[in-house]
Structure 1
Amino acid sequence: MAILKHIAIKNTDYGEAQRYLLFQHDEHTKKPILDENGELIPRKEYYIDGINCDPFSFDLECKELNAQYHKNQNFDEIKSHHYILSFDPKDTEDHGLTGEKAQQFGLEYAQKNFPGHQALVCTHTDGNNESGNIHVHIVINSLRKYDVEHQTFMERPCDTRAGYKHHLTPAYLIYLKRSLMDICHREHLHQVDLLSPAEKKITDREYRTKHTGQKKLGTLNNEMLSKGIAPRQTVFQTQKEYLRTAIEYAAASSCNIEEFQATLLKNYQITLKVSRGRFSYLHPERNKFITGRALGSHYTEDYLFSIWKKQKEPQKQFHTGSDIFTSHSNSTTSAFTEEKETKAFCFIKSDLRLVIDLQQRVKAQNNPVYARKVKLSNLQQMAKTIAYVQERGYSTEDDLMTALTTSQSETANCRKNLRSTQQELKRINEQIHYTGQYLANKSVYREFLHAKNKKQFRQEHLSEITLYETARNFLKQQASSEKLPSMKLLKSEKEKLLSIKNMQHQKYQKRKQYEKELQTVCKNVEMILHGRSDFEKNSEKNLPLR
């Protein structure tokens, strides 16, 4: 998914932005990384261009323009604006996104939305903390250099004239987000609705905390494994992530707010507070409540009450009367089949762990006490593994490998079905969003059509008219008939798809855990049967497991 981030900069040193784009910086402190000689280290891969300026003399040209118009001279003035277009890491493999393509998208975006400004457009391919997501930096001088023609997003007459500053309003920001979404839809890139509240609201701070915590946890787990201790926790979880998981499970097993509150407190030690009808949650290790809005739209009072209301209503078979839902008929009618399959596959996770290979442990060879401790642990795991294969009726090693292959295939099918449902749900969400946007601004557009001075009316209601025209164009492209889809039918279809998605997600998680357990069993059996010598490894291929 592509996201848009804006940073207003008051620093008078335009060269700092150039150095950040061209040289390596610490992502946390934003300070440059120096080599052993104290010199700046160039970035490994980047693409940079300048609009209305030379990219390597951007700082000098901006200062000359500011001096010409006597602007950006005060300390508290915004000297430049920094926009970041960050693309989904999956776009690289799924849709062939490269640094060159992203740079072209950035140039197109900057020329269209910031006309007349001096701009630096630079694409980085390393991503935040080397995550691999390609992102484009656009740094513009807040002062416009050239006169330009009037555009639909411009709200003031001076927005077209040189010597006036970039003015970012809420309506303009909506237009910028819509423009980025249009590029992603046109290029078939992963994209979410930037104009609607996020289902899971993950801030930069939470993202960095999770990354740092996972790195520290991995180091700690490696130290424990070197001592022969199996770590219990392998995935770091932030406090907000803990709250989200707990709320999801508690909401699914509750029918009202009283049950929900009791489940959170009993099972997860989370306190729910309702103030002015709004939900806030207290993590067991915190002293300050976290609001539902800070967690995401799926953890607010409105969404949770809608879930409980749906659980109380009797389930009815859903029929659409429109061709627009024809593509969903297979997924909606298979809801009961998915539910039966989920109930039929019952998986109880065991406490099996991998048998440790002593020959690969240097510490075990040098420390007899540690080696003895590992041997005792291995004997326990071997005994559990033998009991496991006997209880499930695996006669030979080939039978066990067949079961693992079958499990991997079933897990892949579950993942494929889940992704298909997610894509259908994404399409329905887009239709709901644009249908609501269309209906909300329809009356204003009617007034615009009957207005005597249409130009003045458009300037006064630019955001409403832009939102209406965007929604109208989208619905025309998506609808198979001229009839506008009913909001009631769309929301009913969304609830049905959400139910299917939840069942498919639970089934996929169980299949994934079962596959992981079989992999552990297969590796342990390999150690039991073939861990002594190469001769035994070749001669005991089909020895009975019992």
Structure 2
Amino acid sequence: MAIIKHIKNHNANYSDALEYLMYQHDEKSNKAIVDEYGRKLLREEFYMDGLNCNPDTFDIECMETNAHFKKNRRKEELKSHHYIISFDPADATECGLTGEKAQALCLEYARKNFSGYQALVVTHTDGHNGSGNIHTHIVINSVRKYAVDRQDYMDKPHEQEAGYKHRSTNKLLDHLKQEVMDMCNREGLHQVDLLSPAPAKITKEEYWAKAHGQDELDKVNEKIRAAGLKPASTVFQTQKQFLRDAIDECSQLSGSFDEFQSLLLDRYNISVIEKRGSYRYLHPDRDRRISAESLGANYGKAYLEQQFQNHSSDKVRPHESTHRDENVANLDYHTDPFVIFYMKSELRLVTDLQTNVKAMQNQAYARKVKIGNLQQMANTLIYIQDHGYDTREDLKKQASDIQVKMEEAQDQLSKLSSKMKTLNTQIHYTGQYFASKSVYAEFLKSRNKKEFRQGHSSEIRSYEEARDWLKTFYPDGKMLSMKTLKSQKAELQESIDAQKSVVKQFRNYHKELEIAGANVDAILGMKEPLVHHSYKQPAQTEKSKNNTQHKKKEDKTL
């Protein structure tokens, strides 16, 4: 399928777009790749044409148009619009699509839909991350150079006239999507309906966050394996993807919104509410909810309610199942408590019924807690077997070892953070030094220094403060440039981010061991805890304590 994406650009340097489209760039850093002599490398295969301009002088001609119409003078103005048409990778293998053919199709597309604008049309055949999909970049100047006939999709006044800015409205985007679909259908290429909501909506920001997060997770896992441990996770999930996976699983097990809401909260600690006819989800690590629309069409109210209705109408009883994994979605642990041993859940603490006031007062809640405890005990046994803990002491020793490693990782993070604090101070005073250096030089040359100081007291004071601090920091007098300092800061920030991930991994692992240890104690009825854990039952309020004491008195009376 072919898709079209739109990117707004505030960069006034049109040469950057030209350089990116012509030369090889690193996908992660987005920096140009150079050879051993520092020369930029051209892309191996690309096709380039200009619309209403010469492609080689696209940047100069755009600036001339802006100057002629006196537009794009302010920093906040949109200087250009970048449209990307990405074809299905199967189009090259099954439909005979080539880079040259894609360039011809998209050049025709640009002439039809961006007439009057200066546009750069460039087709690449490399694809992202080695995907091999052919894609075309259409970069247009935001100011129309030539007037054109007014079209149906234009809903802004004077939009067709020369000198007016390009407006990427919803109406225009729908028109462009329809044009892409028509083009692909006409040429016999793979295509889907771009005007229908996407089942899973992956934004550019989420895509890059996942790519960056996976790289960081791989670095962290290398350190964990080097320490002789097994990583808890090898696949990075964004918060939105975590929600999607949880919703996919829980929606298959639910016959109503109430069941869906309860399962999400019990299994993944995700809260879901209905507000103004739409579902809104709260990730465990967030303070603000995420709308269903931002996740995709398959996570909204209309789609999920249809799923609930389908599941409630053809629900299968547990004894009718022949394959546990295939029919787990239809199991009902309320009628058969032993079903919980086959249901997936996160490892959580077993609840102590002797101290849980609500369970004492409500038999239905107590029954639910007992079922939950059985499930957590089962999960604990599976966890211990999967990790190869043969004895209670093995679990205790592993928890102790992880705590030591966690503290070492935290100490390392503290050292890096302290180093970052010093580097930030260094950058601050270096910038302050250079910013006020010219004023201080004038001060030294001035004939009436007293009068000059009175008129520029703050700049001179800033210079002297920065100079004195830098003298103590650079005893040899050799200062580092701002460019070097910022490069060091970027590298140090990467180290801090990676170390934070290491600390988080150890903390999560230690938390799992603490919970597993506490649950083992509960299973074995041990009075002395296996692991001195910090995850306790919620403390009782004064009112709860009074109720408990009153209940004990009644028991004695009875």
Shorter chain as denominator, the TM-score bin is 0.5 to 0.7
Classify 1:267/1:67 alpha carbon distance in 2 versus 1 (closer, same or farther; 3 Å): closer
Where in structure 2 are there 5+ consecutive unaligned residues?
329-341, 343-387, 389-558
When the two chains are superposed, the root-mean-square deviation of aligned CA atoms in Å is: 3.5
Greater shift, 267-276 or 54-63, is seen at 267-276
- The C-alpha deviation readout for 1:49-98, integer Å capped at 9, x for no partner, is 11121110112222233333333334443332211112233333333332
Shift of 1:220: 6.1
Classify 1:176/1:341 alpha carbon distance in 2 versus 1 (closer, same or farther; 3 Å): farther
- Percent sequence identity over matched residues? 50
Give the aligned residue type for 1:270: I
Distance 2:48 2:104 in 1: 10
Distance 2:87 2:278 in 1: 33
2:95 is aligned to 95
SS state at 1:120 partner: strand
- The C-alpha deviation readout for 1:205-263, integer Å capped at 9, x for no partner, is 22223223444555666777899977674443333222212212211211112211222
Distance 1:197 1:291 in 2: 14
Give the aligned residue type for 2:237: Q
Shift of 1:111: 0.5
Structure-to-structure mapping, 1:41-440, within 5 angstroms: 41-155=41-155, 158-217=158-217, 233-313=233-313
Give the aligned residue type for 2:123: T
Distance 1:204 1:344 in 2: 35
1:9 is aligned to 9
Classify 1:284/1:64 alpha carbon distance in 2 versus 1 (closer, same or farther; 3 Å): closer
Distance 2:166 2:326 in 1: 59
Q: Is the 8 A contact 2:256 2:312 kept in 1?
A: no
Give the aligned residue type for 2:195: L
Which protein is bigger by CA-based radius of gyration? 2
Give the aligned residue type for 1:311: H
Give the aligned residue type for 2:120: L
- The C-alpha deviation readout for 1:278-327, integer Å capped at 9, x for no partner, is 32223344444322222111112222222223334479xxxxxxxxxxxx
SS state at 2:93 partner: helix
Give the aligned residue type for 1:300: G
Distance 2:77 2:213 in 1: 38
Distance 2:260 2:325 in 1: 27
TM-score (norm 1): 0.53
Distance 2:242 2:223 in 1: 25
Distance 1:9 1:236 in 2: 29
Give the aligned residue type for 1:2: A
Give the aligned residue type for 1:139: V
Distance 2:23 2:169 in 1: 32
**Aligned pairs, number:** 327
TM-score (norm 2): 0.52
Classify 1:180/1:313 alpha carbon distance in 2 versus 1 (closer, same or farther; 3 Å): same
Q: Is the 8 A contact 2:2 2:184 kept in 1?
A: yes
SS state at 1:145 partner: coil
Give the aligned residue type for 1:180: V
Classify 1:292/1:115 alpha carbon distance in 2 versus 1 (closer, same or farther; 3 Å): same
Where in structure 1 are there 5+ consecutive unaligned residues?
316-338, 350-379, 381-546
Give the aligned residue type for 2:178: R
1:427 is aligned to none
Give the aligned residue type for 1:205: E
Classify 1:255/1:122 alpha carbon distance in 2 versus 1 (closer, same or farther; 3 Å): same
Classify 1:7/1:58 alpha carbon distance in 2 versus 1 (closer, same or farther; 3 Å): same
Classify 1:224/1:131 alpha carbon distance in 2 versus 1 (closer, same or farther; 3 Å): farther
Higher RCO by CA contacts (8 Å cutoff, separation 6 or greater): 1
- The C-alpha deviation readout for 1:119-156, integer Å capped at 9, x for no partner, is 10011222234433322111112233334344443446
Distance 1:96 1:226 in 2: 48
Greater shift, 148-157 or 250-259, is seen at 148-157
Give the aligned residue type for 2:143: L
Distance 2:23 2:151 in 1: 35
